[in-house]
Amino acid sequence: MKNKFIPIIIIVIAIIIMIIAIISFNILSNNSENTNKKTSTQLEVENVYITLNKEVSKEENSQVIITVYASTEAENGIKEIILPNGRSFSGDTTTYTVAQNGTYEFKAISNNGVTATKQIEVTEIVEASAINPYIPEGFSVVEDSIEDGFVIEDVYENQYVWIPAENGKLTRDTATDTNYEDTDSTASALVNSVSKYYGFYLGRYEASQCEIDGNIAVACMSGKNPWTNITYLDAVEYASRMGEAFEYKDCHTALINSYAWDTALKWINKSYTNFSSNTNYGNYSGTIYPTGYTESDNVKNICDLAGNVREWTTEIYKGTTTGSSSSSSKNKQNDIIQRVVRGGGANLSRTPASHIYYPENLADNYWGFRVILYK
C-alpha cells in the first residue's frame, strides 16, 4: 500500500517545488525591475540652465560686469560655476569683470556632476583713444569738445583739460639735450599711462590753495589767486597728495613734468600758430591776476600757460650753472638740484616754451605750479 502512494507523493512534491520556483522567479523579476527603475532615475540627466546678465560698470564703459546665474532641475542644486579665467566659484551666482571686448565662456556644474556651458559676447567697451577720454570716477564733463578742450570737473569744482596723444606717446623737447633729464617716478608713470589711454589731464588753472577738513591742499579752480612763493619741494609734495585730499578713487595727481608741458604745447600749436614761442597771449602786466582772468591766455580751455606766474616742473638741469646770482652758483656747488621753471610770469616776459632753472629749495613771489591728472 505504501508503495502505491509513493508516486503520488513524488508528483505532489514536484508540483509544490515548481510552484515555489515560479513564485520565487516572479519575486526576483519584480525586484530586478524595481532596481533597474531606481538606477535609471538616479542616472537620469537633469537639465542645467545658465542665465547671464550684463551690467556696465561705473567706469564709463571701461569695464563690463557680467552677472552669472545658474540653476538646475536636480534637487541637490548647483555645485560650482567655472569662470572664463579657470577659477571656480561655489554656488549658483557670481560676477565676472572684463576690460576688453570679446567672447567669454562660463560653465555650471550641478552636484550630480552634470555640466552646461554658455558663451557671451561683450561689445560695450569703448576702446581707449585720443578722442575718447576716460572719465575718472566722481567726475563730470564740463566741455565735451576734444578739439576745443575737453574739460572734466570733480565735485569740488577742480577742473582738468584732456591732452590727447594720438600715438600714445608724449613729447619732450629736451629729450636729446644731456643737460636736462626728467626721471621723476611720476613722469615715468605718466608715460606708461599715456601709452595705454592715449592722453592725460592737465590742470585747467594754475594751482591755488584751499582748505579740506582743516588741512591745506592744492586746488585747480577758477578765479583763485595762484599759489606762489613755494619751493619745488613743497609743490611736488602737495601736488602728489591732491588726489588723496579730494578722495580721487581711480586716478593720480602729480606736479607737471616736462613731458606733459611739451605735449600740451605741441597740441595747442596746432590751433594757435606759434603759441609756444611768443609772448602775445599771457599776462605780463607786472600784477598777478587770479588764474583764468586773462582772456588772451585761455587757449584750448587751458589758462595761464604763457604768463601770470612761472611754473615749477619735475625736470632737472644738470649742466653748469650760470645763474645771475651768486646764490645759484653756491647752491650748485653744494649739490642742490636745479629744477626747471617753465613759461613767463607777470614780472618777466618769457614764452611758454622757455626753460630756466633754479635750486629746488628756492621760492619766489612770481613762481607757482600746476598739476596733472592721469589714470
Every domain range in the chain assigned CATH 3.90.1580: 140-374
Tell me how far apart the alpha carbons of residues 168 and 154 are, in angstroms, rounded to a whole number. 25
Which amino acid would we find at residue 94? T
Q: Residue 22's pLDDT is what?
A: 61
Tell me how far apart the alpha carbons of residues 23 and 21 are, in angstroms, rounded to a whole number. 5
Q: Where are the beta strands (DSSP E) in 91-227?
A: 93-98, 102-110, 115-122, 140-143, 151-153, 159-164, 180-181, 199-203, 208-212, 215-219
Q: Mark 189-219 as b/e (b = at least 16 C-beta within 10 Å).
A: ebbebbeebbbbbbbbbbbbebeeeeeebbb
Q: Residue 329's pLDDT is what?
A: 40
Q: What is the dihedral of CA 9, 13, 15, 16, to 10 degrees?
A: 140
- Nearest-5° Cα angle at 43, 89 to 82: 15
Tell me how far apart the alpha carbons of residues 222 and 279 are, in angstroms, rounded to a whole number. 22
* Whether the Cβ atoms of residue 308 and residue 224 lie closer than 8 Å to each other: no
3-state secondary structure of 7: helix
Q: Output DSSP code: residue 319.
A: S
Tell me how far apart the alpha carbons of residues 204 and 150 are, in angstroms, rounded to a whole number. 10
Q: Which CATH architecture fits 48-122?
A: Sandwich (2.60)
What are φ and ψ of residue 113, in 5° steps? Answer: 90, 0
pLDDT tens string, the chain, 375 residues long: the values are 445 556 666 665 666 666 666 655 554 444 444 333 322 222 334 577 767 666 666 555 578 888 888 888 777 888 999 999 999 999 888 889 888 889 999 998 888 888 888 888 888 887 789 999 999 999 999 999 999 999 999 999 999 999 999 999 999 999 999 999 999 999 999 999 999 999 999 999 999 999 998 999 999 999 999 999 999 999 999 999 999 999 999 999 999 999 999 999 999 999 999 999 999 999 999 999 999 999 999 999 999 999 999 999 999 999 886 544 434 444 444 678 999 999 999 999 999 999 999 999 999 999 999 999 999
Tell me how far apart the alpha carbons of residues 319 and 70 are, in angstroms, rounded to a whole number. 67
To the nearest 10 degrees (0 to 180), the angle between helices 258-269 and 185-197 is: 40
Q: Which CATH class is domain 140-374?
A: alpha beta
Q: Which three cell numbers stand for residue 95?
A: 560676477
* Whether the Cβ atoms of residue 112 and residue 152 lie closer than 8 Å to each other: no
Q: Output DSSP code: residue 284.
A: -
Every domain range in the chain assigned CATH 2.60.40: 48-122
Q: Residue 303's pLDDT is what?
A: 97
Q: Residue 56's pLDDT is what?
A: 60
The residue written with cell numbers 577738513 in the block is 213
Q: Residue 259's pLDDT is what?
A: 98
* Whether the Cβ atoms of residue 210 and residue 244 lie closer than 8 Å to each other: no
Q: Residue 47's pLDDT is what?
A: 73
Which amino acid would we find at residue 48? V
Q: Residue 328's pLDDT is what?
A: 42
Q: Where are the alpha helices (DSSP H) in the chain?
A: 2-42, 185-197, 232-245, 258-269, 326-333
What are φ and ψ of residue 318, in 5° steps? Answer: -105, -5
* Whether the Cβ atoms of residue 181 and residue 363 lie closer than 8 Å to each other: no
What sign for the dihedral angle of Cα 160, 166, 168, 174?
negative
Which of 242, 252, 253 is closest to 212 using CA atoms? 242
Enter the pTM of the model. Answer: 0.72
